[in-house]
Amino acid sequence: MRRSEGVRGSADELGAVGQTLLTPLYARANASEATGFTDPLAALLLSRVDYDEAQIPTDPTTVAGTIYRAMAIDELATAWAANHPDGRIISAGIGLCTRHARIATPAGFEWYGVDTADVIAFRRKVLPDDPVRLIESSITEPGWTDNLGVRPTLVIAEGLLMYLDAVGVRTLLRTARETLGAEVVADYLHPLLAKNTKHPITTATGARFGFGVRNGRELARLTPGYRLAEERSTVEPFGGITRLIVTIFRIVTLGQRTAAVARLEPV
Ligand SMILES: C[S@@+](CC[C@H](N)C(=O)[O-])C[C@H]1O[C@@H](n2cnc3c(N)ncnc32)[C@H](O)[C@@H]1O
């Protein structure tokens, strides 16, 4: 067990799904210089968490994939915020996400995060001066929007959809569309990967993957009222053997990706 000083929490306070937040936190805190990605707040938060090494997959592929995903979403979120200075970003399944500290947003812009009770309590503990407004709820319970006023809204689901099932993803999209009129940015796994019961993250935490889609159009079609506006690969920046594998995958599946980020616009 690693021990840290100051405001701290133990990973054992989190359930299996909650513990999946450790992997992206670790990745953001340990991004390689070559990516150009830095997140000092993530490094600080990681230093406040006590965890067993076995709870976090630290292999270079998992770390790099998480960083490529974060960079793609940072770019989309920055552009959206610049076009919606009176808007808000809601991170669905926020974990210990620190995007609010990484990207520049206009004065008056609002940040929200939704997650389960164990994770919200943990976040409050290790980040007591958090400017993000936190909502304690399962994202598949429509009630989480009850006290939100009207504002242009971007819902970000980063590293979340794979832990839901198709009904849960549909509910999330329907709530985002019907209640908030929100744009959505979400990453997804291909169903072939989502079926992988030996993925390093599920092995480390005991959480299970329950959802995958073949592409962003399929994701948009899950609920009426969305169209796929754009899609970004989170795997193509890889080099070496990983790049070879994802390229072969793309050819064999006629253009599908193992993992990507989709931006859905309301229609
Ligand atoms: C892999 S972590 C990603 C955390 C964060 N988005 C990030 O990128 O650092 C998945 C997060 O989704 C949350 N989550 C999973 N299922 C959820 C649900 N039904 N409702 C709310 N949060 C959920 C977990 O508790 C966890 O914090």
pLDDT at 2: 52
216 lines ligand 1 (CB under 6 A): no
Query: Can you tell me which atom of ligand 1 is nearest the CA of 168?
Result: 19
pLDDT at 123: 97
Does residue 3 lie within any of the structural domains? no
Does residue 62 lie within any of the structural domains? yes
* Residue 179: domain span: 9-266
Does residue 2 lie within any of the structural domains? no
Neighbours of 85 (CB within 10 A): 12
Residue of 41, 55, 115 to test ligand 1 pocket, by largest number of atoms within 8 Å of CB:
115
pLDDT at 6: 55
CA–centroid distance, 217 to ligand 1, in Å, is: 23
pLDDT at 117: 97
CATH of the domain at 113: 3.40.50.150
Does residue 150 lie within any of the structural domains? yes
27 lines ligand 1 (CB under 6 A): no
Number of domains composing the chain: 1
Sign of CA dihedral 34, 205, 135, 226: positive
Amino acid at 93: G
What is the gyration radius of the CA atoms in the chain, in angstroms?
17
Q: Which residue has the tokens 């230093």?
A: 47
- Report residue 197 as tokens: 């019961």
Per-residue pLDDT tens listing for the chain (267 residues): 554 455 899 999 999 999 999 999 999 999 988 899 999 999 999 999 999 988 898 888 889 999 999 999 999 999 999 999 999 999 999 999 999 999 999 999 999 999 999 999 999 999 999 999 999 999 999 899 999 989 999 999 999 999 999 999 999 999 999 999 999 999 999 999 898 888 889 999 999 999 999 999 999 999 999 999 999 988 877 778 888 888 999 999 999 999 999 999 999
CA–centroid distance, 248 to ligand 1, in Å, is: 30
Query: Can you tell me which atom of ligand 1 is nearest the CA of 96?
Result: 9
pLDDT at 134: 98
Does residue 1 lie within any of the structural domains? no
- Report residue 221 as tokens: 């079609």
Does residue 17 lie within any of the structural domains? yes
